[in-house]
Structure 1
Amino acid sequence: MEEGFLFKDVFNPNLVARMGQRINAVSSEFDEDSFYKDIVPKLPPLSLSERSNLIFETLFTYLPDEYNKAINILLSSFDPLSKTCEMTGFEGFYFMPIAKYVSTYGLEEKDFELSMKALIEITKRFTSEDAIRPFIRKYPKQTFEYLYKWTADENVNVRRLVSEETRPRLPWSSVLREFIDDPKPVLNLLDELKQDTELYVRRSVANNLNDIAKDHPQLVLKALKRWKTINDKGTQWIISHASRTLLKQGLPEALDLLGYPSDVKISVDNLILNKEECKMGEEIEFSFNLVSKASKEQNLMIDFVVHYMKANGKTAPKVFKLSKKKLPAEGKLSLKKKLSFKAITTRKYYQGLHEIEIQVNGKRYSKLEFKLKK
């Protein structure tokens, strides 16, 4: 990668030239020179998504007006399939504006079958997880018929698409509100993928379940309990990875499912902060002891909760993972952790009283407060 490379630079003059050449090779009427000149001078100030939009809008200008003719030309211009499973590098972004073309101009009912064909061919080379969401909204029944068929596709990227595209809150995509309200159709699809041989697919299944658990914890828990009886390592991995939100919520059934009993017998002693005040940009360190009150070994999932001061003057809790430990009978563990208040893009800090609280197997124990200052 060249020094000074920006993410938006995946859409560059070389990519535009290559696209024009490939399309012209299968359709001599496509004016590749004008296509290039209409795009390249406009690229520099544009963001990644703006560059992609410029390309797909210009494609519409130079391709035939009839959608079926245009898509068949684009499909004929595609490169051979990659031999790798997971998408790596930036080469696949070539197909991002083409996916946008399909989701924008291929939504008429008469074009549905052709659009599904195009999105799958794109998926085999890049992804259509965002582009297919308008079809889910407009044609839920027809699209789900395809999704069920794709759960058994030989191409790993197609199988992953089934899970990734139905995530209620897919990053960088619009929310599928219908699946937040009722995730049962998605859960039925994920059930078909729970024993997939590829981690790439199973990771997506787990992330989808974790999304659903934020709104419907009991539904996800019910599915995971059923899957727990399956003698398959991949499925058991999904259960563990999909339970992140359930465990942070401290649900006793989820903890018990993963072998962290909610009736743990411990005490949290000697919780100490290394200072009572912390400045923005600094770190604060806390330490504590876990002491067993049981006559047998116990599995512990140890978290800590930071009660952050918010703009309204009230605190809001955020759970962080700390460690998984085995505590011997009548044994003791000493732990410590640093908490940073260095500026990050995902969280804004406010001065005032904060609290740190220890959580073990879903139960909260000792708590200390400290002041965050500018």
Structure 2
Amino acid sequence: MADALKEFYNAAVVAGIAQRVSAAHPAFPADHFRKHVMAVLPPLSLMQRARAIADALRQHLPQDYPAALEILLNSLAGDDHTGGIDGMGGFRHLPLLNFVGAYGLDHPGLSLNALREMTKHFSAEFDIRYFIERHYDLTMTTVRGWTDDPHWAVRRLCSEGLRPRLPWGLRLKRFIADPRPVLEVIESLRADAHDSVRRSVANNLNDIAKDNPDAVITTTRRWQAEDRDGTADAVRHGLRSLVKKGDRRALALLGFDHRAPVTALDFAIAKARYRVGDRLSFHIGLRHDGKKPAKLSVDYAIHWRNARGGLQAKVFKLAKPMLGPGETVTLEKTHSLKPITTRRYYAGEHKVEILVNGQSVAEGTFRLLL
């Protein structure tokens, strides 16, 4: 999968970048640029390739940064994929954003304005982080001013660019230590008209909850009490990691009672042994023994064998049934054991655990063979 991702930056994409830059600046040495880039790309990862293209742009564009930046902005004119955040297409713009993040720190005002325009084509969430680190006050003042920008992608950047633990992005340690500035920014975005902005707010909350759960519980409790339209999704998705951890406060906010009396009637893993590449299968029967209907959050945790021989749990969503007094439900699940880039498999005994409203109700084991 990693190899497939990095191959996005192939000869055709590099040629397309060269063509657009040449259209904005006829003196651009497109052939030299293409040869330079294609010579250095093969061993690099996806993000390394984007940065290598940015470095090549720096080498082949005018060395005056404002002049080079104007050329890159002009090269975006007429682009028909504005605001792309899904899929891979927008990644062709990432080298331009990397150019700003790498070479624009001595021109913060000019560069931030450029990121505002570029983020309409592909999110500037990775590169604005360097300005937060180097020019904190100016960047935060600028971001706060963008929260009512007419373009949804700019408003989304106000949240996504401030996520403390953005995947693939520079970790913002200051916000891990104190998330209050981030919470202040996303306050005005939580009920945004665009779902991509609201989804970013939820992901931001989920990031913050990993280090500051109390702050997220306090914030979402208040949001829920205010009952503003559009906030419910942000609260639900923002609390997802805390729910998986069985945080009783998060469960209660979403209507799940950890004290709900639930009995596991039957739990079985289909086979005792699986090989990497198989599909793990199991089923579980649940009965609600309470006197009132209960909303259940049912998850399953796979306790993976790690390199040290111990077990490390990863929690996955199974179902959210509503059961009346005495009602039962049977849930079935298959889970792929195919190789993935984010997990290394180790042979030995593994465990599957069923969690209902954060409480363990059943578990079983299987042996994984390499």
Q: Same fold (TM over 0.5)?
A: yes
1:373 to 1:147, Cα distance in 2 relative to 1, 3 A:
same
The question of whether the paired residues in 1 share the 8 Å contact of 2:101 and 2:130 is answered with yes
- Structure 1 distance, partners of 2:189, 2:324, is 38
Q: Give yes or no for the alignment of 1:53 onto 2:51.
A: yes
Q: In the comparison of the two structures, how many residue pairs are matched? A: 368
Partner of 1:300 in structure 2? Answer: 296
Residues 197-243 of structure 1: per-residue CA shift (max 9 Å, x gap): 00011111111111111111111111110110233342111111111
Residue 145 of structure 1: CA displacement? 0.4
| Contact map agreement 1:286 1:338 (CA 8 A) in 2 | yes
Q: Which moved more, 1:246-255 or 1:24-33?
A: 24-33
Distance 2:298 2:247 in 1: 14
Q: Give the AA of the match of 2:55.
A: E
| In structure 1, distance between residues paired with 2:240 and 2:289 | 27
CA 1:205–1:354 in structure 2 vs 1: closer, same or farther (change >3 Å)?
A: same
Partner of 1:351: 347
Q: Is the 8 A contact 1:303 1:322 kept in 2?
A: yes
Q: Write the mapping of 1:175-214 to structure 2, written as runs, cut at 5 A.
A: 175-214=171-210
Q: Which residue of 2 aligns with 1:77?
A: 75
RMSD (Å) for aligned C-alpha atoms: 2.6
Which residue of 310, 318, 325 maps to 1:322? 318
**2:337 aligned with 1:341:** yes
Q: Is the 8 A contact 2:82 2:120 kept in 1?
A: no
Partners of 1:230 and 1:17 lie apart in 2 by 52
Q: Which whole-Å CA distance do the structure 1 matches of 2:82 and 2:358 have between them?
A: 40
Letter of the aligned partner of 2:327 in structure 1?
G
Q: How far is the alpha carbon of 1:184 from its aligned partner?
A: 1.5
For the residues of structure 1 that align with 2:12 and 2:336, how far apart are their CA atoms? 43
What is the one-letter code of the residue matched to 2:247?
L
Gap change, CA 1:124 and 1:301, over 3 Å in 2:
same
Question: What is the CA deviation profile of residues 14-70 of structure 1, one whole-angstrom value per residue up to 9, with x for unaligned ones?
Answer: 555554555455545544454455445665665544443343223223333222222
The two structures have a TM-score, normalised by structure 1, of: 0.88
Taking the TM superposition and a 5 Å limit, the aligned residue runs for 1:104-123 are 104-108=102-106, 111-123=107-119
Identity in percent: 39
Of structures 1 and 2, the larger Rg is shown by: 1
- Give unmatched runs, 5+ long, in structure 2: none
Q: 2:299–2:354: 8 Å Cα contact kept in structure 1? A: yes
Q: 2:246 aligns to what?
A: 250
- What residue number does 1:232 align with? 228
Q: Find the aligned partners of 2:34 and 2:222 in 1 and give their Cα distance.
A: 55
Q: Which has the larger displacement, 346-355 or 297-306?
A: 346-355
Aligned residue in 2 for 1:144: 140
8 Å contact kept, 1:9–1:48: yes
The equivalent position to 2:90 in structure 1, one of 86, 89, 92, is 92
1:300-325 deviation per Cα after TM superposition (whole angstroms, max 9, x unaligned): 11112222222222222222211000
Alpha-carbon separation, structure 2, partners of 1:12 and 1:339: 33
Post-superposition Cα deviations, 1:277-308, rounded to whole Å, max 9, x if no partner, equal 44444344333321222122111111122222
Whole-angstrom CA distance in 2 between matches of 1:201 and 1:50: 27
